[in-house]
Amino acid sequence: MENFQYRNGELFAENVSLQSIAETYGTPCYVYSRAHFEARFSEYTNALSGCEHLVCYAVKANSNIAVLNVLAKLGAGFDIVSVGELERVLAAGGQANRVVFSGVGKTPEEIARALEVGIYCFNVESEAELERINNVAGKLGKVAPISVRVNPDVDAQTHPYISTGLKDNKFGIDIARAPEVYARANGLPNISVQGVDCHIGSQLTDTTPFLDALDRVLTLVDELAGRGINIHHLDLGGGLGVRYKDETPPSTADYIAQVRARLGDRKLKLMFEPGRSIAANAGVLLTKVEFLKLNEHKNFALIDAAMNDMIRPALYSSWMNLIPLRPHQNTESRRYDVVGPVCETGDFLAKDRELCIEEGDYLALCSAGAYGFTMSSNYNSRGRAAEVMVDGETPHLIRARETVADLMRGEALLPD
Ligand code: LLP
């Protein structure tokens, strides 16, 4: 978290004190560093220089339009999974012809909108979807560019909920069936075969599963070429891990160098769909300690953020670092479970943490820039948090905290 550092006993985001942000905008509040998004995105494009490429940021990781706009200005493409994400990209100034559309359940309306704005490619996840895209494109008098998302059956060695490249997962088409599916696609009048796609999982901390998947995909590309079906691009999805605690994921540069080395003399445009590796360490979630509840066997720190603001610890048992904005020198250290106000035992952000804290203190949950706000909900009728992006010396409010009126918008009483 290079852009979040202590200075004179106080935690900063770039050149802005996080305590001042907490006091100005209230808590819970997500705070992002613009510089971090830019640096991480540029690592991808730098590592790909000299090779035709498109880096499509995975919008699901953090879809605030200010984040998308910062990346669009660097020439980013975008990986989307819904028409909502597509409209966000367009509203943020992203280019439709740099968008890839992933996801297993694309509706006819979503496909039509993507064709209307002219996206770069559909990542097709099933044979039924291929037929649907062909039909919708036919009705609109268009030809849809597609890749087949193949499932290479490799174990990404990550949490089972975020592993996607095994035969048992719902994603993609079994790589063994892929040649037949490509043959079918090639014969459809409103389909244009462009590439091959795979995404095997998220938070990978070793390159071996990526390279195993790549080898299988390259074998497929060669086999298709032998059958006269030429693949122009290779989309390797996202998945590169980050450090939450003590993980040592490969650097983006190393990962991409290893991929490039395996391509040999094949002339393939290289595409990636990174989410977490760009966004996770670009953000923190600020929260306030409301009460300290010291029980006989356990101490609880009750904070104002909850599982509705950040569900990763509850859903995946994720460990995320929790640090004070202004560490105390003389406060007693105790071991706490750090829990929110939601009425669920699973509502915790951290367990068994040694902390020197007092009521009223502010804390930062680290590495919260990816799959934080985007997975938040209104459970317990809690408004979603504010989001702030720091740019050098300046904090910008990029999403206002939800109000009670926001919570009831669109609801209606029955008539008397
Ligand atoms: N492409 C596709 C098709 C995906 O399904 C995903 C993530 C990505 C790209 C981006 O993967 P990344 O680079 O972020 O690993 N909520 C979970 C992570 C779910 C990932 C879903 N798919 C978490 O908080 O750990």
Peptide linkage before 28 cis (omega within 30 of 0):
yes
Instruction: Give the chain's residues under pLDDT 50.
Output: none
Query: Can you give the pLDDT at residue 76?
Result: 98
Q: 198 catalytic, yes or no? A: no
CB contact set of 189 (below 8 Å; sequence gap of 6+): 134, 138
**Separation in Å, CA 346 to CA 128, 354, 365:** 38, 20, 17
- 363 and 357 in contact (C-beta within 8 Å)? yes
**Interval 63-79: pLDDT, tens:** 999 999 999 999 999 99
Q: What is the pLDDT of residue 171?
A: 85
- The answer to whether the predicted template modeling score (pTM) of the entire model surpasses 0.95 is yes
pLDDT tens digits, one per residue of 394-406: 999 999 999 999 9
Residue 238 Cα to ligand 1 midpoint, Å, equals 7
Residue from 202, 205, 207 to probe ligand 1 pocket by mutation (most atoms less than 8 Å from CB): 202
Predicted local distance difference test score (pLDDT) of residue 162? 65
In the structure, which protein residues have their CB atom closer than 6 angstroms to any atom of ligand 1?
Answer: 58, 61, 79, 102, 162, 199, 202-203, 237-240, 273-277, 312, 316, 371
Ligand 1: centre distance to CA 368 (Å): 14
Task: Give the pLDDT confidence score for residue 358 in this predicted structure.
Answer: 97
Mutate to test the pocket of ligand 1, among 60, 161, 240, 375 (most ligand atoms within 8 A of CB): 60
pLDDT of amino acid 54: 98
Phi and psi at residue 215, in whole multiples of 5°? -60, -45
* Tokens coding 112: 């039509």
Q: Whose CA is nearest to atom 19 of ligand 1?
A: 162
Beta-carbon count within 10 A of 343 CB: 9
Q: What is the pLDDT of residue 170?
A: 80
